[in-house]
């Protein structure tokens, strides 16, 4: 028993245990300071309702950033001369991987990621606004910039650790075989995402129809595209879908879109008057709408003679496909009002039932 106790005490007298306790203490202290700043920040802004959420989110983001790098930098500088910190953890070929090299690599990659996000969020939008680039081009440039920065950061971090990049050719061959057999779908979607960013058959901000679902392209990620529907639902669609299936893109090339508004009136109505009233509706909507245009001119199509009505279609053109529902609704309101004011009936389906007289003997049999 005495031997066990001595060994146990010797175990906790090791230098790395003391270092570990110091690290835990520093982490707890930094997290406590972070909590205090967040607590007092909420107290100071508790009386103001405007922008509280945005302010707290920004403060939390900065504090998380500072906390992480404070811990990493403390570990890097305080324990730089410690044996366990610069000692070999694992070897890859002739390269000795140490804790210090791992932390330096993490710092390089995370700093590159943070810097890339700051540039794409705060600096690039100013450049985009100056050159009046559309939303899709902005997203493409931002993604390419971010990917390029991260690739460079990974290469630098690997070189810092001491890994010879030429030694990765074997690993790349193994990955290639894996892609060929088990990762075909992932590779296909990744390559499709790159094609989408450069060829741009769809781009961020486009209004598309996928499987009869209408929505706007919100993000084009490495594997899938995020579409936000008009009901505020999000659909995750694999990138390869847009290259292999039929997709309706209402914003491709020319966003101008023709709307078709069907309308039926009762038999016996003055069809010339109906045409004039529908054209008046189109002109009235043009006066109030910011997206409707008169070139091409509105047109009334006399479709034909339906079962219960004379069928017409009003064709109008709008500049923005995002206003389809609102414009159609406004025009339908106007049509209903103007037809009612001019005593033109909008019929509902009707059926005439003709009952033929039956033979008297048959009627007697039915009664009996």
Q: Which residues contact 281 (CB under 8 A, 6 or more apart)?
A: 314, 331, 334, 335, 338
Residue 357 confidence (pLDDT): 61
CA 353 to chain centre: 56
pLDDT at residue number 24: 84
Check pLDDT > 60 for residue 6. no
pLDDT surpassing 50 at residue 78: yes
Res. 3: pLDDT tops 50: no
- By C-alpha distance, which of 20, 154, 156 is closest to 84? 20
In this predicted structure, the answer to whether residue 8 has a pLDDT above a threshold of 50 is no
Q: Which long-range contacts (CB under 8 A, 24 or more apart) does 119-127 make?
A: 119/145, 120/145, 120/146
pLDDT at 7: 47
Spatial distance between the Cα atoms of 80 and 312, rounded to a whole number of angstroms: 82
For position 310, what pLDDT does the model report? Answer: 93
Which phi-psi region, left, alpha or beta, contains residue 40 (left: φ > 0; alpha: ψ -120 to 50)?
alpha
Question: How much is the average pLDDT of 316-329?
Answer: 91
| Bridge partner list, 314 | 261, 300
Confidence band for 74, pLDDT divided at 50, 70 and 90: confident
How much of the chain, in percent, has pLDDT values that exceed 70?
76
List pLDDT tens digits, range 233-277.
Answer: 899 999 989 888 888 888 887 788 899 999 999 999 999 999 999
Q: How confident is the model at residue 362 (pLDDT cuts 50, 70, 90)?
A: low
Percent of the chain with pLDDT over 90: 21
Token pair, residue 225, equals 């595209």
pLDDT of res. 36: 84
Write down the mean pLDDT value for the chain. 79
The pLDDT of residue 148 is above 90 = no
What's the confidence (pLDDT) of residue 175? 62
Q: Is the pLDDT of residue 4 over 60?
A: no
Q: At 366, is the pLDDT very low, low, confident or very high (cuts 50, 70, 90)?
A: low
Write b or e for each residue in 213-224: b if 16 or more Cβ atoms lie within 10 A of its Cβ, otherwise e. ebbbbeebeebb
Instruction: Report which listed range, 131-145, 180-194, 246-260, is most confident.
Output: 246-260
Using the predicted structure, report yes or no on whether residue 365 has a pLDDT greater than 80.
no
DSSP assignment string, 329-349: HHHHHHHHHHHHHTT------
Q: What confidence category does residue 342 fall into, taking pLDDT thresholds of 50, 70 and 90?
A: very high
CB-count exposure of residue 335 (10 Å: 0-12, 13-18, 19+): buried
68 and 27 Cβ atoms separated by less than 8 Å: no
| Mean pLDDT within 178-196 | 75
Q: pLDDT value at position 79?
A: 73
**pLDDT score of 9:** 46
Average pLDDT for 66-92? 74
What number is the average pLDDT over the span 111-119? 85
């Amino acid at each position: 028993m005495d031997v066990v106790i001595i060994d146990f005490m010797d175990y906790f007298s090791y230098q790395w245990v003391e270092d570990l306790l110091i690290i835990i203490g520093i982490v707890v202290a930094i997290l406590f300071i972070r909590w205090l700043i967040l607590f007092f920040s909420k107290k100071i802004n508790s009386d103001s309702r405007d922008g509280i959420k945005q302010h707290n989110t920004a403060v939390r983001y900065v504090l998380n950033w500072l906390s992480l790098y404070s811990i990493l930098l403390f570990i890097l500088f305080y324990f730089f001369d410690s044996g366990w910190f610069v000692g070999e953890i694992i070897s890859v070929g002739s390269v000795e991987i140490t804790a210090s090299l791992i932390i330096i690599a993490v710092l390089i990659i995370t700093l590159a990621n943070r810097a890339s996000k700051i540039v794409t969020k705060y600096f690039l939008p100013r450049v985009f606004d100056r050159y009046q680039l559309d939303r899709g081009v902005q997203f493409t440039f931002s993604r390419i910039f971010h990917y390029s920065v991260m690739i460079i950061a990974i290469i630098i971090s690997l070189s810092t650790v001491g890994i010879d990049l030429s030694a990765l050719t074997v690993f790349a061959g193994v990955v290639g075989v894996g892609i060929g057999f088990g990762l075909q779908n992932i590779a296909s979607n990744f390559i499709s995402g790159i094609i989408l960013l450069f060829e741009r058959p769809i781009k961020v901000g486009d209004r598309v129809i996928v499987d009869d679902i209408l929505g706007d392209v919100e993000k084009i990620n490495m594997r899938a595209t995020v579409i936000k529907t008009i009901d505020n639902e999000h659909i995750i669609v694999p990138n390869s879908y847009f290259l292999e299936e039929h997709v309706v893109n209402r914003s491709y090339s020319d966003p101008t879109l023709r709307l078709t508004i069907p309308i039926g009136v009762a038999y016996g109505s003055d069809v010339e008057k109906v045409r004039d009233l529908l054209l008046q509706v189109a002109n009235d909507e043009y006066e109030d709408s910011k997206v409707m245009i008169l070139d091409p001119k509105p047109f009334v199509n006399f479709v034909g003679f339906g079962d219960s009505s004379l069928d017409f279609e009003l064709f109008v053109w709008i500049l923005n496909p995002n206003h389809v529902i609102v414009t159609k609704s406004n025009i339908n309101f106007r049509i209903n009002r103007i037809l009612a004011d001019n005593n033109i009936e909008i019929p509902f389906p009707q059926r005439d039932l003709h009952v033929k007289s039956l033979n008297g003997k048959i009627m007697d049999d039915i009664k009996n």
